[in-house]
Amino acid sequence: MDRNSNPFRMGSMSYVLDAQYQELMSELPSPAPPVLETPSSPSFRRAEREEKYIAIGIDFGTTYSGVSWAHSSTPNDIHHVAHWPYDGYRGKDEVQIPTQVDLSTNDWGYLVSKDADPVRWFKLLLLETRDLKKDMKETNHPLEHSREKLRKHVGYEPSAVIDLVADFLQRLWEHTLSEIQYELDLDLLPIKVAITVPAIWPLYAREKMEAAAAKAGITKPRRIGKTELILVEEPEAAAVSTLFDRQGYPEIEIGESFIVCDCGGGTIDITSYTVTSVSPFIVKEAVTGDGKLCGAFLIDDAFENWMKIKSGLRFDKCDRADVRDFMNEEWEHGIKRAFTGKEPSFSIRPPAKAFGVVKRTKGRTDNFQISSDVIKQFYSRTYNGIRELISEQKSEITKKLGKPPKKILLVGGLGASRYLYSMLHEQHQNVLQPAQAWSAVSRGAVIAVLKNAYNPAGASLGANSGDALLSLRTMPTIASRISRASYGVIFASRAKTVNPPVDHAKEEVYKDKEGIERVDRMAWCLRKGESVDNKDQVNYYFQRDFDSPDVKTLSIRIHLSDADEPPIIPDSSVRQLCGIECQIDIPWETMREMRDPEGNLLKCRKATGLIISMSFGGAPKWKLTAGGHSTEQKADVKYS
């Protein structure tokens, strides 16, 4: 097999682009004849339950988290969970809650005491150290601080991280259900939920997130049935939410591309999409997305350090609770959210103990002036990181499509900053700041649930109105993504015919059961940078030797590479991603008999028609299929 050959077959898919309301209505079932059923009849209630459900989207963020939800019969009406438990904090009705847990008291979110030192950033502890970016590995980084606190409290083990994430998610989930219960009877409604994850997360981290969600009780069986869970990539959720709000805007035209910049507390994620249809609304990822650890935490750190070191105030004399109260009241819910860059200065009220004895004696502890020029310095590192991401993404889009993106959309908590908007708009002139930027990710997760459960024929929504079906049908769909890694398997190739020729310094030549010399080479089913249809699947057809008719298990290993050009000869960039195993039942007599080079019959046979199938809708999923007379079996996937 030469370097350019590809044993994987990518299917194709066509979309029926139809937005005519009359045609949509014609798909709806004809009215059923009257029956002697009442709303209290068991069959009536069962049929209604099967057609309706609650869609919940959880934005489990690095610094803040939020939840949105909608009823399937009114998909356009997306609600936000608020009224978070709190103790003396302003902000209980915010659409987000701090992602923090006090290990000593087990308090969470707004309930964490002002003088506590809670664990934050623990979401990122689901990543192995090797997959953390360089700036996250620094000893003074808040992530390392959280890792050390967890280690001292329970001993740092992978299960401890999952337990901590599960504990936070459980509180979040219980509060969410209690809030929805005020409006709906949840005992009669199935639940479908999505949790968002970073686009660059490896599969093992996604698996840990699913394990934490299960441990939190999110997927536990209910009387109405098991709660369905999907994972949705954060920038994709932000994009879908933003596009949902902007359907019909002049920049949404076929062939136009746009950038979505999700500005969060920890990371800045950037993705870009090209419009392929406006009715229904379909987009595809234009170029590979990117991200940096340059979120709002850098701005917060810069402000706090300046106040403690350069302001001339004595914060070392203040109680921790007073400092935290000051950061929350005067900075987070004060200057930071109001700052536009046009104000000459701001007047703030630091803790009284921060002032010198003389000023306290004279009562001059009410206000402290901080100039706009100083505040701008706090934003510099974050702004520079965002500017670089946008500039690089624009360059890639222009190179690939021949023209720059039509618009740049800012979402996320930091994306609501007027100062950030003005700075970026001054440079690019095509920046927009959509409404509800704070909740864009959780709202997008709700839309992803609704689209994932939507049956185009309307079979599962027969009791819903035509307007609801029309809304579901016209909600934005991301048809394809750009692969961020290469996926493949190691296969045995004939040593005499491989291209490039065998490199004996790097490769080991061995003989198979037929006595043929072989060498291990990579077969890449999907290469980094290639576009993948979300509803299609990649198939790899292979064959496998069996020594005995008693062998009933088939297993294979999937490998990945982050290299821009994945190697044909396995090297250090190639690592095992997962192992797939399933039970098979291929009759021994249907397998091909094998002979050695001399023609002698061997005591083994070769099974053909075996398939590895990979789909990439939201998160990569894998399965094995045994061909011939066998049937498809459920594969057991174990990530490395």
Of the candidates 149, 80, 97, 21, the residue with the CA atom closest to the CA atom of residue 468? 21
Which pLDDT belongs to residue 389?
95
Q: How far apart are CA 603 and CA 606, in angstroms?
A: 11
Residues 67 and 126 in one domain: yes
Asked if residue 74 belongs to a domain, the reply is yes
Asked if residue 470 belongs to a domain, the reply is no
Residue range 148-192, pLDDT digits in tens: 888 888 765 668 999 999 999 999 999 999 999 999 988 889 999
Is residue 557 a contact partner of residue 576, using CB atoms and an 8 Å limit? yes
Residues 96 and 204 in one domain: yes
Residues 368 and 322 in one domain: yes
Residue range 279-291, pLDDT digits in tens: 778 889 999 888 8
Q: Is the pTM of this model over 0.95?
A: no
Assess whether pLDDT exceeds 90 at residue 58. Answer: yes
For residues 42-60, average pLDDT: 68
DSSP-derived 3-state class of residue 315:
helix
Which pLDDT belongs to residue 36?
37
Assess whether pLDDT exceeds 60 at residue 10. Answer: no
Residues 449 and 499 in one domain: no
Which pLDDT belongs to residue 91?
46
For residues 20-30, average pLDDT: 33
Six token digits for residue 54: 């609650």
Confidence band of 359 (pLDDT split at 50, 70, 90): low
Asked if residue 28 belongs to a domain, the reply is no
Asked if residue 344 belongs to a domain, the reply is yes
Quote the number of domains for the chain: 4
Confidence band of 128 (pLDDT split at 50, 70, 90): confident
Of the candidates 469, 460, 466, 468, the residue with the CA atom closest to the CA atom of residue 48? 460
Asked if residue 615 belongs to a domain, the reply is yes
CATH code, 280? 3.30.420.40
Residues 182 and 89 in one domain: yes
Is residue 83 a contact partner of residue 92, using CB atoms and an 8 Å limit? yes
* pLDDT above 90 as % of the chain: 32
Confidence band of 16 (pLDDT split at 50, 70, 90): very low
Residue range 429-438, pLDDT digits in tens: 889 888 777 8
Higher-scoring residue by pLDDT: 541, 506 = 506
Asked if residue 473 belongs to a domain, the reply is no
Residues 60 and 198 in one domain: yes
Residues 624 and 487 in one domain: yes
Residue range 199-239, pLDDT digits in tens: 778 778 888 999 999 999 999 988 888 899 999 988 889 88
Confidence band of 12 (pLDDT split at 50, 70, 90): very low
Six token digits for residue 314: 């004595």
Residue range 385-405, pLDDT digits in tens: 999 999 999 999 999 999 999
Q: How far apart are CA 6 and CA 25, in angstroms?
A: 44
- Give one DSSP letter per residue of 235-280, joined into a string: HHHHHHHHHHHTTT-TT--TT-EEEEEEE-SS-EEEEEEEEEEETT
Which pLDDT belongs to residue 119?
92
Confidence band of 380 (pLDDT split at 50, 70, 90): very high
Assess whether pLDDT exceeds 80 at residue 133. Answer: no
CA distances in angstroms from 24 to 28, 421, 474, 477, listed in the order given: 7, 40, 11, 17
For residues 106-127, average pLDDT: 90
Six token digits for residue 558: 């999937």
Residues 450 and 413 in one domain: no
Residues 529 and 604 in one domain: yes
Asked if residue 37 belongs to a domain, the reply is no
Residue range 460-503, pLDDT digits in tens: 444 455 677 777 777 888 888 888 888 888 888 889 988 899 99
- Residue span of the structural domain in which 576 resides: 482-639
CATH code, 528? 2.60.34
Which pLDDT belongs to residue 190?
93
How many Cβ atoms sit within 10 Å of the Cβ of residue 454?
19
Of the candidates 93, 113, 95, 94, the residue with the CA atom closest to the CA atom of residue 103? 113
- Measured in degrees and rounded to the nearest 5, phi and psi for residue 434 equal -60, 155
- Give one DSSP letter per residue of 499-532, joined into a string: SSPP-TTT---EE-TTS-EEEEEEEEEE-TT-EE
Which pLDDT belongs to residue 549?
81
- Give one DSSP letter per residue of 1-70, joined into a string: --TT---EEE----------HHHHHHHSPPPPPP-S--TTSHHHHHHHHHH--EEEEEE--SSEEEEEEE
Which pLDDT belongs to residue 134?
64
Residues 619 and 487 in one domain: yes
pLDDT averaged over every residue in the chain: 80
CA 505 to centroid of chain Cα atoms:
42
For residues 410-439, average pLDDT: 89
Strands 477-482 and 281-285: parallel
Residues 627 and 494 in one domain: yes
Residues 375 and 396 in one domain: no
Asked if residue 545 belongs to a domain, the reply is yes
Q: How far apart are CA 126 and CA 159, in angstroms?
A: 10
Is residue 17 a contact partner of residue 459, using CB atoms and an 8 Å limit? no
Residue range 68-107, pLDDT digits in tens: 999 998 998 999 999 898 875 444 567 889 999 999 999 9
DSSP-derived 3-state class of residue 176:
helix
Assess whether pLDDT exceeds 70 at residue 267. Answer: yes
- Give one DSSP letter per residue of 572-622, joined into a string: TTEEEEEEEEEE----GGGSEEEE-TT-PEEEEEEEEEEEEEEE-SSS-EE
- Measured in degrees and rounded to the nearest 5, phi and psi for residue 409 equal -105, 125
Which pLDDT belongs to residue 244?
84
